[in-house]
Structure 1
Amino acid sequence: MPLKATSVRLDDETLARVGEMAKAMDRPRAWLMAEAIKQFVAREEWFIQEVEKGVKAADEGRLTDHTDVKAKWEAKRAAQMD
């Protein structure tokens, strides 16, 4: 996939931090910023899709009672304490 040049505006402190991370990773600063944006977009797309699934389930009446969820998490916590 061809790359298209663009610009990103960052404050000086963040830009310096990105530069230090890129140096530590032995990668160009542009690569690090592109990778960060790709990961952010993928994570946000996933989150939006999951919220949409939840809204659809709620609209269809497929809900879990609060007491059931609470009991599940309390049991899980108790098992971790053992």
Structure 2
Amino acid sequence: MSLKATSVRLDEETLQRVGQMAEAMDRPRAWLMAEAIKQYVAREDWFIHEVEKGIESADKGKLIDHSDIKAKWDAKRAAQMD
């Protein structure tokens, strides 16, 4: 099912940049805006669900000490620099 939005209001600079990008991609400006909104919504939806999972884990007491995480990331960074 596809619903139509009534309008999106953008400042002139953003609208011009969207137009330039759409032209470079050989796509309609409306397609680019719809695609950008879909990607934004998907990313934010993922983020909200990940935060909810984290809260649920914390509520269950499934926590990892900060120093353990820091040590893991420090080791990973050191390995990448070698």
Q: Same fold (TM over 0.5)?
A: yes
- Please name the residue that 2:4 is paired with: 4
Runs of at least 4 residues of structure 1 off by over 6 A?
none
Q: What percent identity do the matched residue pairs reach?
A: 79
Segments of structure 2 that go 5 or more residues without pairing to the other structure are none
Query: Post-superposition shift, 1:5?
Result: 4.2
Matched, 1:80 2:74: no
Matched, 1:20 2:23: no
Partners of 1:5 and 1:44 in 2: CA distance: 19
When the two chains are superposed, the root-mean-square deviation of aligned CA atoms in Å is 1.0
Q: How does 1:1-82 map to 2 (within 5 A)?
A: 1-82=1-82
Segments of structure 1 that go 5 or more residues without pairing to the other structure are none
Return closer, same or farther for 1:27/1:66 CA change in 2, 3 Å cut-off.
same
Number of residue pairs matched by the alignment: 82
Paired residue type of 2:7: S
Residue aligned with 1:6, SS: coil
Return closer, same or farther for 1:71/1:23 CA change in 2, 3 Å cut-off.
same
